[in-house]
Chains A and B, each alone.
Chain A
Amino acid sequence: MDDKLVGLIADLKEQEVIARVKELIEGGADPVGILDDGRSAMVVVGKRFETGEYFIPDLVFSGEILKGLSEMVKPFLEKGDQSTKKGKVLIGTVAGDIHDIGKDIVTFMLDVSGYDVLDLGIDVPVAIFAEKAKEFQPQVVGLSGFLTLAFESMKKTVEALEQAGLRDKVKIMIGGGQVDEVVKEYVRADAYGRDAVAAVTLCRQWIGG
């Protein structure tokens, strides 16, 4: 592990990260190790978010820095990223709602935290959630929605998972816009998360890792 690189990423020093990665690659460092450093840095970023030192723009910017790092390292990887995943999460914005910013941040945070995330996109029909849950067999299903009409779509999606006989096989978390504890009860989800880091914390509790 390169402490200097981890620190630079966690401190969001984009230009210095690029310079350091270049240095490491030229020095013959293991490209997989560089990717691991990126993940370690994201743990620090997540902690700073939880303690209120970092905010959404910091998460978004760290994501961009990480993307740049991966692109630099990619040509030197033998067979892509082979790291083992901690568990599966199925995610999407529910039917009728086309908002994706929040969902994308959650997907990114879960991905860098080591989960295998299948993102179904926006305006996902109730039946598709159930169908994909059957195929993908996730431990966690995340339902996102910004509009108030999402309450009804979330409720129907949870019912569809019940009808498909999957309800006791998955934990369901919801988030976005007007969603709160009242909505969690209304749609009969297992938890409501306020932000992307809360989603990661929930997955850790439910799946481990």
Chain B
Amino acid sequence: MQTMDRGVTMREEIAELYRQREKRVNDAIQLKKPDRVPVVALFSFFPARYAGFTLEEVMYEPEKLMEAQLKTLREFQPDMDQNPYGTRFLGPILETLDFKLLKWPGHGLGPDVPYQFVEGEYMKPEEYDHFLSDPSDFMIRRYWPRVCGSLAGFEKLGAIHNMITYYMGFPFGFAPFSLPEVVEALEAIKRAGQESLKIATWSRKYTERAKEEGFPMQVGAFTQAPFDTLGDFFRGTKGLMLDMYRRPDKVVKACEKLLPFMLEIALGGTKASGNPRVFIPLHKGLDGFMSLGQFKKFFWPTLRELMVALINEGCNPCPFWEGDCTSRLPIIKDIPAGKACYAFEATNMSKAKEILGDTVCIRGNVPLSLLIARTPEDVKAYCKKLIDVCGRGGGFIMDSATGLDDAKPENVRAMFEFTKEYGVY
């Protein structure tokens, strides 16, 4: 009887801890003053290293990923966590698809090297019109075969939109589906489906486990800026940079075409997870990567529209502004107040506070150079500055500048412990 009571009390305590953490972060997002500065981290592959697993192990073995992530949570006690399954337990599904856009540990890279992007022009400049007129047809018959070796056979298919009825499409149009390479691709899709289901199951299980230990998730969905999606996956960085000069109208049209998809992906995620916070990593709009004029023309309009649409749906857009975005601050301020959370990597944080302070919660940005190459004292000194400047009045969340991968555990600990101590309001 006594043990049961203790169990009940502990469960209540953990539930209370969970509520406090959720409130702490939500207060910061709503620009209110929480009890203290919330502290989180982009853990990335850090938990694997911390728990003594190779990166290959956590990409292929979901049990080890669970163990590594939970160990990190328990020992660092972040205010929120990131469910690692959708971005780490990728080995089996990518293997099945023979995915070309990444090299990963155990597949083109050593067992302890994080996965890395393989840039390419997976959509040729002359294919914009196909993409614009029927994106799904373009993706199934042109994009998938290029980015997934196992789906190469789909190149043999006829246009999906022509498969209409018994005298248009059906009698002859299905013939390509009998070709051996297409059958092979269909088999691969089936296997990918099974792997996909495994990721979803583990992901759900993880969120439940973390909740049982008192940790809410930072975000419940992922999406991207349309311009980034176009550049990262279809046209490549260089291809898209050149398109801004050679075919600017197509770039704008393609971003507009992608916008509803980016919204749909985000809302699908928030609905499934019940978590309104949407992570939006931003890659190609930073200072230096385009002029302010190009930012205003190509990057910002559809990103803003995406974020406003999310806010109207009751979500909190959480973009991660990679690199230095200091010159963009006055432009990206144009968003409904108290709804979004902007994480920064190398942006000038005091300027960010000054310009955005009354509009969005800001988050960041302990440099990885300090977390890897310096001491806990250096990390604390940096965190102190951040809390003094950005923490003023609330609306700030402490975070590493980018993925923790190679950070020294004692430095990460310093970031967490110092913030919890010094960051009390």
Contacts and interface: CB of A to CB of B under 8 A. Distances in A.
Interface of A: 12, 14, 54-58, 60-61, 64, 96-101, 147-149, 151-152, 178-180, 182-183, 185-186, 195
Given A14-B246, A147-B114, A183-B369, A101 B119 contact: yes
Contacts of B294: 55, 57
A101 B245 contact: no
A56 B283 CA distance: 14
A60 B291 contact: no
A14 B243 CA distance: 13
Interface stretch (B123-131, B169-177, B188-196, B234-242): B234-242
Given A149-B113, A149-B405, A152-B406, A56 B241 contact: yes
A151 B406 contact: yes
A143 to B, nearest CB: 15
Given A56-B288, A151-B406, A178 B369 contact: yes
14 contacts: A14-B245, A55-B289, A56-B241, A57-B294, A58-B291, A61-B245, A98-B116, A99-B116, A100-B119, A149-B405, A151-B369, A178-B368, A182-B374, A186-B372
A61 B373 contact: no
Contacts of B368: 148, 178
Interface of B: 103, 109-110, 113-114, 116-119, 237-238, 241-242, 244-246, 288-291, 294, 367-370, 372-374, 401-403, 405-407
3 closest Cβ pairs, A-B complex: A186-B373, A182-B369, A57-B241
A148 B406 contact: yes
B114 A98 contact: no
Given A57-B290, A101-B238, A148 B113 contact: no
A133 to B, nearest CB: 23
Nearest to A49: B288
A14 B114 CA distance: 39
Nearest to B327: A52
Best-buried of A96, A100, A179 by chain B (most CB within 10 Å): A96
Contacts of A12: 245
A147 B115 CA distance: 10
A54 B214 CA distance: 49
Given A55-B288, A148-B368, 16 more contacts: A12-B245, A57-B244, A57-B291, A61-B241, A97-B116, A98-B109, A148-B402, A148-B403, A148-B407, A149-B405, A149-B406, A152-B406, A178-B369, A182-B374, A186-B369, A186-B372
Nearest to B322: A177
B288 A148 contact: no
A101 B237 contact: yes
A149 B402 CA distance: 13
Contacts of A101: 119, 237-238
Contacts of A186: 369, 372-373
A149 B113 CA distance: 8
A54 B245 CA distance: 13
Given A57-B244, A60-B241, A147-B114, A180 B288 contact: no
Given A56-B289, A61-B241, A178-B402, A96 B369 contact: no
